[in-house]
Amino acid sequence: DVKVTQSSRYLVKRTGEKVFLECVQDMDHENMFWYRQDPGLGLRLIYFSYDVKMKEKGDIPEGYSVSREKKERFSLILESASTNQTSMYLCASSLSLLSGTEAFFGQGTRLTVV
């Protein structure tokens, strides 16, 4: 079974802190994604990566950055956390083929910024 593991289920951080959310997948997938989930807004794409060291902005990249130094690991960085970044963060991975493929999700990290 594909496994996508997010390093924390719950995090509480202070405003202005630099926050790292880590995600690891074990199926050699090329694509990795970070989504943010808010009630009534669904899943919104923050950043995605299709290869090591490659990254592309999604729909809501402001206030975030990412790092992919190894194929299996994709990190989301909040440079200076703010209260409006309180949310559920979901990491996902998928194979890269000539058409869309299933995305496998981690269990999510619920981040609270106080």
Chain contacts with another protein (rule: CB under 8 A): 4, 30-31, 33, 35, 40-45, 48, 50, 56, 58-59, 90, 92, 94, 96-97, 99-103, 105-108
CA dihedral 104→60→7→67, nearest 10 degrees, is 100
Residues pairing with 51 in the sheet: 54
Q: Which helix (H) or strand (E) holds 46?
A: strand 42-51
Pick between residue 85 and residue 89 the one whose CB is nearest to another protein: 89
In whole angstroms, the minimum distance from the beta carbon of 73 to another protein comes to 17
Pick between residue 65 and residue 105 the one whose CB is nearest to another protein: 105
Residue 85 phi, psi dihedral angles, 5° rounding: -100, 5
In whole angstroms, the minimum distance from the beta carbon of 93 to another protein comes to 11
Q: What residue type is 69 in one-letter code? A: E
In whole angstroms, the minimum distance from the beta carbon of 106 to another protein comes to 5
In whole angstroms, the minimum distance from the beta carbon of 15 to another protein comes to 26
Q: What residue type is 65 in one-letter code? A: S
Pick between residue 69 and residue 97 the one whose CB is nearest to another protein: 97
Of 26, 40, 49, 37, the C-alpha closest to 108 is 37
